[in-house]
Each structure stands twice: as C-alpha cells, then as structure tokens.
Structure 1
Amino acid sequence: MADQINAVAPLLHAPLAESRARMHDVAREAGVSLATVDRALNQRPGVSARTLLRVREAVQRLAERPGAQLTSHNDGRLLCFLLPSGENSFVAELREELHALAPWLSEQGARAEIRTTDAFAPAAAAAAVRRLRGQYDAVVLMVSDDPLVREAVERLDADGTCVLTLVSDIKARNRSHFVGIDHLAAGRTAASLMGRFVGPREGRIGIVIGAPGLHDHAEQLAGFRQLMATEHPQLEVLAPLESRDGDERSGALVRQLLARHADLVGLYTIGAGNAGVHAELRAAGGAGLVAWVCHELTSHTRAALLDGCASAVIGQNARLQARAACRVALARLARQRGKAEDERIRIEIFLKDNLP
C-alpha cells in the first residue's frame, strides 16, 4: 500500500490550485470521487487496495499522455442518490427530476448517479449504503431509519463522505442535512382535512401505511393521530395496516377494512400504493363511499380526485427537493452554507378544484 501511495505523492508537491486541478483529473481518469483521491493521497482509511491501484494507474496514464492538459474543470464531484426500488410513483418522479438536472449539474462541475435498494429491508439498505464507501463525494439517502442504516451512515461520514437525507430522514448525528417537508405537520394537516370531510358523523378511520420504519411515514402517522385525538375524539382511528407501498397489497387492505368495518367513514393512506386503493374504492362504490386523504399528487391520485374517490391529496414538490438536495450537497462539499439550506419544502394541498 505504501508503494501505491508514493506513486501519487508528487501531486502534493504542486501549488494548491494546481494540485486541486490535478486531483480532479485523476478522479475523472480513475472513475472515482475526488474524496477517494484525497483519501488515497493522505493515506486515510476507506480506500481498498484495488481502488488505490486504479488511482496509481490513472496518475501514470495522465503523466504519459503527450500534451495532456490538466485543467481545473471541477467535474470530479460525484453525487449518489440511493432511492427505494419498486413501484413508488413519487420516487419515479424524483428519478425523472434528477435526470433532468444533469445539464445543470454539469454546469456546476458535478454529476449524479442513481442507485436503488429495498427501503423496507433495513439489512439490505444498510448493505447498499456500505457499498457506496469510497466511491462518491456526497451521498443522498432515501432509506429506512434503522440502527443498521445509521451505523453504515457513520462509516460513510468517517470516510469523509458528505451524507444527506431526502424526503425521509434518518436519526443519525452524522448526516449533514435533511431535505424534505415537515412530516409531523403533514400528518396533522391530513387529520384536519379528514375531520372537515367526515363532518359530524361518527365512525372509524382506517389507515394504510407503507412502513412504520420509514421516518416520514412514522411522523405522518404520529401527527395524524395527535390531531385526531384532540380535535376529533368522536372518530376512532384504527391500527395502521402495513402495505410496503405495493398497489396490490394496498388494495387488498382497503378491501379488508371495508369488509370488517361497516362504520368506516374515513381512510388515510401514507406512502405509495394509491393505484390499488383507488381501484378498490371504485369497485366498492366510488365517490363518497369514505373520505379518503392520501399523499403525493401522481397520475393515480389525480384521477382519484377527479372522480371523487379521493377527498384531498397532500403533496411535496419533487422538482424542488431534487434541486435542493443537489445544491446543498455541492455547497457542503465547497464548505459553504448554501441558500438551499434555508429553503423550506412546503406542504401542498390538492383538491379536485385546484388541480394544476
């Protein structure tokens, strides 16, 4: 390992600006992050022998390339977004927005890659986070909040990787910033809307949730229960049923709720799976059957609002969150406090009458 480190040591003898430029060229040539090159040069942990060899070979190729120009173009900043796999429509929208940001990121001297993992399997999510070590300058995570994941985040941070969370937070002291809405407030908003749509009726409220282990889902549930208990005590909130964001399972759970509770007057769904919910409500009678409040304006929830099956949709802007995450990550890497950190992602409320 010492020989491999010594092979790139001459970079440290260049003036600071030139050294920085050379490091970016090495990162681009080796296909690794600037942080990885920096760790290799300074003999810090988190870089495998195989990666050290790639860095050494990249330096040699650059040195032997006739007329090679080492520039200060800052295209060595590599960002990674680790998003949930599966059929979540909102996550699909996030992916589209991130792809659309590629030209803007290039202008900032950066690029982003998207990886996916099973957000409902903490061990798999933690393993996916661990696999990111030494590959990226900044990692943006949308995964479950679990001790295994937090431990993996701590290792990333110890390696010098900037870690942000997107949409759903993680209770890890090492993550540098969270980009998303206030989910407790979103849950309280859902409860307030539910009370308005149910009106003076008494009865039960069913809840279908993606997974309580997801921080955003857990906070929305807590906010909903809190306000329902204080403002609408005449309505009994049933225990949540877990859907894992699947359309088919969500529909089956709604069918189960309707069959078991003749006095069901409201339905609150947290997470994805709303296509299945909509299909089941339509099959059971359609508009006005129950007051249904859900999250994220997608093609499925839009259709549900238009035909009256859904009463209200609580949204969060995927475009703003994707851009804010990129801006905050780049600002943190530059050791600057970006304006994006002060931007609040606002809770949006959509009804049939105000659809964009």
Structure 2
Amino acid sequence: MSDPFEATTATLKDVAREAGVSTATVDRVLHGRPGVRDATIRRVKDTIERLGFRPHAAAAELARGRSHRFCFVMPKNQNVFMAEIVEHISKVRVWLAARRTLVDVVETDVFDADVLAETLEEIGPRYDGLAVVALDHPRVRAAIDELVGLGVLVVTLVSDAPSSRRAYYVGIDNIAAGRTTGTLIGRFLGGRSGKVAVVAGSLSLRDHAERLFGVSQVISADFPNLDLLAPVEGRDDDDHNRALTRRLLDEHPDLVGLYNIGAGTTGIGTALIESGRAKDVVFVGHDLTPQTRRFLLLGVMDAVISQNPGHEARSATRVLLALSRNEPIVAEQEYIGIDIVIRDNLP
C-alpha cells in the first residue's frame, strides 16, 4: 500500500498556469522584485494562497519526521455555506499532504447536543487535532474537554464553545454581525415603526445566540420606534423557516423587519414573496449563496452579512497545523472579516 502522505504539493508551474503568467513573473512576486503590475501581483498572491504553494514545504515536513491526522466535525444535511467549507477543506488536502497531514470530515447533527457529544466521544483520541462546529452546551463542552485531556487539539469553527478547553476559535465576531444587522435594518427602515422578527437555527449555537444579542442591543438602544419580537427557531431548515415566516406575517401585520440569523433563507424569502409583502419588509440574512444572491437581485433581501468559507477552512487547517507543531499563530492572517453585501456591490 502506498504512503498517503506522498501526494505532491503545488509547484511554481502550477501557480504560473493558474494565474496566467510566466514562472519568471511568479518568481519576481515571491521575491518582491520590481517590474510587475499591482493587479498581477494581487492575482499571483491570491493564486499562491488558494493553491497553498510554499517553496520547499514538502522537504521541510519530511525533515520533521512526523505526520498528523485532523478531523472536521461538520453539520449533517449541510446548508450551502457549510457545504462550501467542506469543499474548501477538500481543496487544501494536497497542501496538507505535503506537510504529512491527513484530514477527514465527519458529519453529525450539530443542533442536538447529545448527538454531537456522542460523535465527539466516539472520535476519541484517533486524531491529533479536531475542528468542530460547536454547540454551546454542557455535554458538548464536557466532550471537548475530555478530548483535550486525551491530548487532542480542539478548534471551534463558525460557532464557539468559549468556556470549554478548546485552543482556538475560527470565525467572525458574531456579536458584531448582529449589531451590524440591527443598524442596517434600522437605517433601511428610515424611521418607520413596527415589529422586527428574528429567525434562528438554534439559540444553543453560540454564533446564533451572539448574533441575537448584538441585534437586540442596537434595536433597543438606537431604534425605539422598533419592537423586536421573541426569536423563533427553525433549525436552519427551509420548510420550517417558510412556515415560521408565514405565521409571523399572519400574526403581525405591522412586521417591518426580519433577520435570519442562520441558514434556511430560501424558505423565508419564499414566504415573503408568497405573502406579497417582500417589498415592505426589510430582510437581512447571512452568507452569500446562489439563493441569497437571487433574493438580493429581486429586492427580496436588502443585505447579506457574508463571511468567506474558503478563508475559514484554510484558517482552521493552518491553526491546527501550527498548534500541532507548537508554532505561533498569526492572528492577523486568521482574522475572519465581516462583509456587507447589497444588490449594488454583488461580487
């Protein structure tokens, strides 16, 4: 059987081909030599990052004489955003293989604390490092702590469990994301009065709870003309969210704003269209997907709070690798920014 770590990493020629330039141009960019246009420099650097090109990386890893195994614990029945993270994890497998590292993906129900905890317990110490979309629940925190006690490096991804013994969190500042949404809804409404609804996947997910906290802060402090309704939970499911939105629209004829904290945006947008009130309700959600892009173009959604799934996948793998080698983490490189996308700046 062949060694699974013998896969080749990206080469200088690969970078040149993908960026559409010569190998000499790539070399000039790598060494900071003059004579290359700014746009070309950006394109080459983006390609280097995407392909994970590192000169002599494979030789350096071989010199270390150590291999690693990492695992990503991701939601079962993934929404588009989570599916994109998994896709990007697959793309960095070659980069990891050059560093004598294998990565697996395990899918489970991250909305169910017992199921998620059992999954973590079953995984046990088979891996050197683990990245998990965490549920902030006592049993899940205990499972994470047990893994750490067994010598497994644990990183939380997208949703945090900060009181656990996890080593690092990779994701956006979710309180800031919620506050941003509150400001957007209040400003877009331009002084109109009425109710604002919040649809969450599960408030046991730390990211969803923090987004709710952020939007509540801004609406209550800065927009007294708006009444924030108690949140409802749809488990990021389109059918559930469609039914919840229909009920909210029926029960609150003065509904003027809606914030979808998680996924299941298709169901909410569909219900708004069916009600005939899509143009009257300011609707803000998360993650730029083909469906949220369509809703922005149609005017059903007013703004999308976006984060880069590729950056998150690469960041989690870099962090696990750095932790496993006892190397410093470059916080600036691993910072996950918040983007505000509206119809007029769609990429």
**Cα distance in 1, alignment partners of residues 91 and 274 from structure 2:** 37
**Cα distance in 1, alignment partners of residues 250 and 277 from structure 2:** 15
Counterpart position of 2:268: 277
Q: CA deviation at 1:352?
A: 0.2
**Cα distance in 2, alignment partners of residues 96 and 118 from structure 1:** 19
Counterpart position of 1:266: 257
**Cα distance in 2, alignment partners of residues 87 and 177 from structure 1:** 23
Give the number of the structure whose alpha-carbon radius of gyration is greater.
1
**Cα distance in 1, alignment partners of residues 241 and 274 from structure 2:** 14
Q: CA deviation at 1:134?
A: 1.9
**Cα distance in 1, alignment partners of residues 270 and 174 from structure 2:** 27
Counterpart position of 1:78: 69
Larger displacement relative to structure 2 (172-181 or 335-344): 335-344
Counterpart position of 1:168: 159
1:149 aligned onto 2:157: no
Q: How many residues align?
A: 289
1:312 to 303, 323, 336: 303
Change over 3 Å in CA distance of 1:107–1:340 after alignment to 2: farther
Q: Match of 2:123, SS?
A: coil
1:229 to 208, 220, 225: 220
Is the CA contact (8 Å cut-off) linking 2:157 and 2:170 kept in structure 1? yes
Counterpart position of 1:248: 239
2:106 to 115, 119, 140: 115
Q: CA deviation at 1:145?
A: 0.9
Instruction: Compute the TM-score of the two structures, normalised by the length of structure 1.
Output: 0.78
Deviations 1:91-145 (A, max 9, x none): 1111111111111111222121100111111000000011111210000010211
Q: Match of 2:130, SS?
A: strand
List alignment gaps of at least 5 residues for structure 2: 6-61
Q: CA deviation at 1:244?
A: 0.5
**Cα distance in 2, alignment partners of residues 341 and 156 from structure 1:** 28
Is the CA contact (8 Å cut-off) linking 1:187 and 1:223 kept in structure 2? yes
Structure 1 segments, 4+ long, off by >2 Å, are 71-76, 340-343
Is the CA contact (8 Å cut-off) linking 2:142 and 2:164 kept in structure 1? no
Q: Percent identity?
A: 41
1:209 aligned onto 2:196: no
Is the CA contact (8 Å cut-off) linking 1:328 and 1:341 kept in structure 2? no
**Cα distance in 2, alignment partners of residues 240 and 102 from structure 1:** 39
Is the CA contact (8 Å cut-off) linking 1:185 and 1:223 kept in structure 2? yes
Larger displacement relative to structure 2 (153-162 or 332-341): 332-341
Q: Match of 1:134, SS?
A: helix
Is the CA contact (8 Å cut-off) linking 2:170 and 2:334 kept in structure 1? no
Instruction: Compute the TM-score of the two structures, normalised by the length of structure 2.
Output: 0.80
1:331 to 308, 311, 322: 322
Q: Match of 2:126, SS?
A: coil
Is the CA contact (8 Å cut-off) linking 1:75 and 1:106 kept in structure 2? no
Counterpart position of 1:45: none
2:286 to 290, 295, 301: 295
Q: CA deviation at 1:72?
A: 5.7
**Cα distance in 1, alignment partners of residues 155 and 68 from structure 2:** 15
What is the root-mean-square deviation of aligned Cα atoms in Å?
A: 1.7
**In structure 2, what residue type is equivalent to 1:234?**
N
1:95 aligned onto 2:57: no
List alignment gaps of at least 5 residues for structure 1: 1-24, 29-70
Q: CA deviation at 1:351?
A: 0.1
Is the CA contact (8 Å cut-off) linking 1:281 and 1:289 kept in structure 2? no
**Cα distance in 1, alignment partners of residues 226 and 102 from structure 2:** 50
**In structure 2, what residue type is equivalent to 1:88?**
N
**Cα distance in 2, alignment partners of residues 300 and 258 from structure 1:** 21
Q: CA deviation at 1:283?
A: 1.3
